Amino acid sequence: MDMTGKTVLITGASRGIGAEAARVFAAAGANVALIARNAEAVADLTGELGAERALAIPCDVSRYWEVAAAVDACVRNFGALDVLINNAGVIDPISHLATADPEAWGQAIDVNLKGVFNGMRAALPVMQAAGGGTILTVSSGAAHNPVEAWSAYCASKAGAAMLTRCADTETRADGVRIMGLSPGTVATQMQREIKASGINRISQLDWSDHIPADWPARALLWMCSPDADVHLGEELSLRDEGLRRQIGLIEE
């Protein structure tokens, strides 16, 4: 997939799937705007990718005005916004409902659900005015299945999955392509936090059970191609071996 001349804004770009997506899209020729709360990390990644092709924007996705300012900065710097990847997410608090901290629970909703809304709300007018664009949201199997001590994560991911469907319903006619990606368990810092909790079956998985972060990154790139148009409005799962083969993550 050649992304030369295209501009991609990636949330949660400081590490994990977001950082790998930045590398994959930049390698495909795209300009990449990298947003995260960790200003130093996205600055370092920008230096790695090259300042002429990458832009670091410190941003808290839970605050709409910061996301809107990030979109404006992206458009000013690169002249367009072709792809938004809603990747930012947190797993904490890992806690049973009866003992969960209300502030921490609400913060997870602010990042995982409101953050996706904020990205869509800021990007959609730009894309509609341009006649099209692509919005991809990193989802989770937790959006569809309850997991012990993950009530905030499950609820927020379920909400984000429905946002994806709503946004597709409202904007497909405007040429905006919207999909979700459920990557399965990925070898990132989030999995280390899950492992450390010792709660539920996912924390008991061996590190070798997790897929590498470049797999979902490469899947996101493939989802920008016409080959993925049959999946508009859907959530794709990287647990599907057929999809892995189609993307080229495993051999035929």
211 DSSP assignment: B
Cα separation, 108 vs 151, whole angstroms: 10
Catalytic residues: 153
Positive or negative: CA dihedral 243, 244, 247, 252: negative
The rounded distance, in Å, linking the Cα atoms of 65 and 92 is 24
Please state, in angstroms and rounded to a whole number, the distance separating the CA atoms of residues 40 and 134. 28
Cβ atoms of 13 and 34 closer than 8 Å: yes
Strand order in the sheet with 235-237: 54-58, 31-36, 7-11, 83-86, 133-138, 176-182, 235-237
Q: How far is CA 77 from CA 8, 69, 73, 204, in A?
A: 12, 12, 6, 45
d(CA 155, CA 202): 17
